[in-house]
Structure 1
Amino acid sequence: MPDIAYWKSGNGTPLVLLPGFGETKEMWTDFARPLADSYEVWCPDLPGFGESKAPEEGFTIPSVAQILGQWLVKQGILNACLLGHSLGGYLVLEMAGLSNPSLSAIGLFHSTAFADTPSKKETRNQTVAFLEKHGVAPFIRSFVPPLFAAENREACGQVIENLVARGLQHPKESLIGYTRAMRDRSEHLETLKNFSGPKLMICGDQDPAVPLTASLEHKSGVTDFHVLANCGHMGMFERKSESQAIILNFLQSSSLNK
């Protein structure tokens, strides 16, 4: 199992926050502060991003989920609430179907249980071709800003710069590997519906990566569903306070409090 870099803060019931594609554990630093007042917050880098080593066997959603599940066990993280952003949400659903992690609740943050559509698969193929031809820097600089709703980009300018700066450090092989893994992932709507614990979903009404129409189709499969108004794909920055309040309320109402 590759080494997983992480940071943790607080005490109480574990809350594990998984970053998304091209993101690192540092994205949660400010966001997690009020959460750590009542919960033990764990924020890992995904294998191949940030300070976590890439898996020798390559990238698939099931294999990365196995690695993260083993990491949870190794750290002794029991009865955790596992919340994932975008790609992190795909991994949450994959891990929810495993027997080894001890999960009390799960959450999708700008993510989906659906597999890629044919048009989305083609977009992934175009991303791979772009990365192979032009490399990391042009991709990251063009990829990050549009994740934010146009009206929020100026206010989130420093955040965008920080995300770009960290994204520029990612190996091209990891970006390509995860793009192909996302393209080839399975649908997990039944996994979501069948998970017995509390289930949270947070989506944005202007999300360019996960259309609101698709998010709404998950509503019957979760216990707590929220749409962030005037928000793109990055609610932890675009609607920070509202997102924090939603997560805290979910944890408290689910009897996952300290």
Structure 2
Amino acid sequence: MNILSRILRRLAPQLGAVLIGVVAVQAHAVPSAVQARTVNAAGLQFHTLQAGSGPETPVVLLHGYTQTSHMWLPLIPRLADNRVVIAPDLPGAGASSIPASGFDKKTLAQDIHAMVQALGYRKVKLVGHDIGLMVAYAYAAQYPDEVESIVLMDAFLPGVGDWQKVWLSHDRWHFHFYGETPLKLVQGRERIYFEHFWNDFAADKTHSVPETDRRFYAAAYGKPGRMAAGFEYFRAFAKDAEDFSAFARTPLPMPMLVLTGEKASGTFLIDQARLAASNVNGVVIKGSGHWIMEEAPEQTMSELIRFLNAPARTAD
């Protein structure tokens, strides 16, 4: 798909929702070291949180479903002492544009890549949680020479190994919950729907995503078009599986860290990653569920900082 056609494909973003989303983001205090910036690329507007400067390779942080770039605020200043750190809202989420199509992770990765290029960077380090890890993997698979290292955080890779064990699991019914009726059911009840994720996927629902963040995310996804866009991330899983199955035939060569919650994906994502990459270090966060940044913040951030600060190295 050429650049012009990609831009034309995305001429229907709901700009009103974008502007409303910006107001919602600004309603929450952001550390002074972190700046909110808009980046135009691939016919989209990306809302980003950015900080730092220095000679080290920039880090791109990609959030998952029910969250936005807001989830990375505790981590961004701790990484930004000698590099640029960029945390975008994914297309469709937060205050970024809502594209008319292209919610498969291969296309979303192309969009994030265009954003990185628009900022003037070629080589980056990637970190992705949940849906964000799928976008990170698709980015690394398509642009392996431009990714110095990658972190995948607790979810799964469609199309890799025994992936349908997760996709068809009865307690993952939300993967198939999209369309007109589901949208009507959750309209005005976004918080109720998201409680399923924040409570049921945590090791302890009283020690999961904090209340202030729950209100923030429910409001962000409650804006026009946001829930519909979020559902499209799931609708695209079948296409993602086709793409990822093809990607996995060429294992990623760069160092990969996989962080998972003991009470969530456990070793499943680590096992998948070893089918798709040749230099994998897997760490299970003991006692944690899916929300490892919130349930075990110090251990999770320490692992991330240690890995991202390590000198560049090649596959064994």
Q: CA deviation at 1:152?
A: 4.4
> Would you say 1:250 and 2:301 are equivalent positions?
no
Counterpart in 1 of 2:125? 81
Match of 1:32 among 76, 98, 101: 76
Q: What amino acid sits opposite 1:203 in the alignment?
A: T
TM-score, normalization by structure 1:
0.85
- Please give the per-residue CA displacement for 1:80-125, whole angstroms capped at 9, x wherever unaligned: 1011111001111111122498211111011322435251586422
Offset of residue 151 of structure 1: 5.3
Total equivalences in the alignment: 253
* Residue 216 of structure 1, CA deviation: 4.0
1:10 and 2:70 matched: no
Q: 2:203 maps to what in 1? A: 149
- Inter-partner Cα distance in structure 2 for 1:151 and 1:69: 35
TM-score by length of 2: 0.71
Quote the Cα distance in structure 2 between the aligned partners of 1:101 and 1:68.
Answer: 16
Counterpart contact for 1:110–1:203, Cα < 8 Å = yes
AA aligned opposite 1:7: L
Partner-residue secondary structure (3-state), 1:92: helix
Q: Residue deviations 1:28-66, cap 9 Å, x none? A: 112222111233110001111111111233422222121
Tell me, in whole angstroms, the C-alpha distance in 2 between the residues paired with 1:233 and 1:192: 28
Which amino acid in structure 2 is aligned with residue 35 of structure 1? L
Distance 1:128 1:153, change over 3 A: farther
Does the 8 A contact of 1:109 with 1:201 survive in 2?
A: yes
Aligned-residue offset at 1:130 = 5.7
For CA contacts below 8 A with separation 6 or more, give which structure has more relative contact order.
Answer: 1
Q: Structure 1 stretches (4+) deviating beyond 6 angstroms?
A: none
User: Is the deviation greater in 167-176 or in 84-93?
Assistant: 167-176
Q: Once the two structures are aligned, what percentage of the paired residues are identical?
A: 21
Aligned-pair RMSD on alpha carbons? 2.8
Q: Does 1:106 align with 2:150?
A: yes
Q: Report Cα offsets for 1:120-140 as digits up to 9, x if no partner.
A: 586422354663331344244
- Ranges in structure 2 where 5+ consecutive residues have no aligned partner: 1-41
Q: Distance in 1 between matches of 2:178 and 2:129?
A: 20
Give the drift of 1:141. Answer: 2.6
Between 45-54 and 144-153, report the one with greater CA deviation.
Answer: 144-153
Structure number, greater radius of gyration: 2
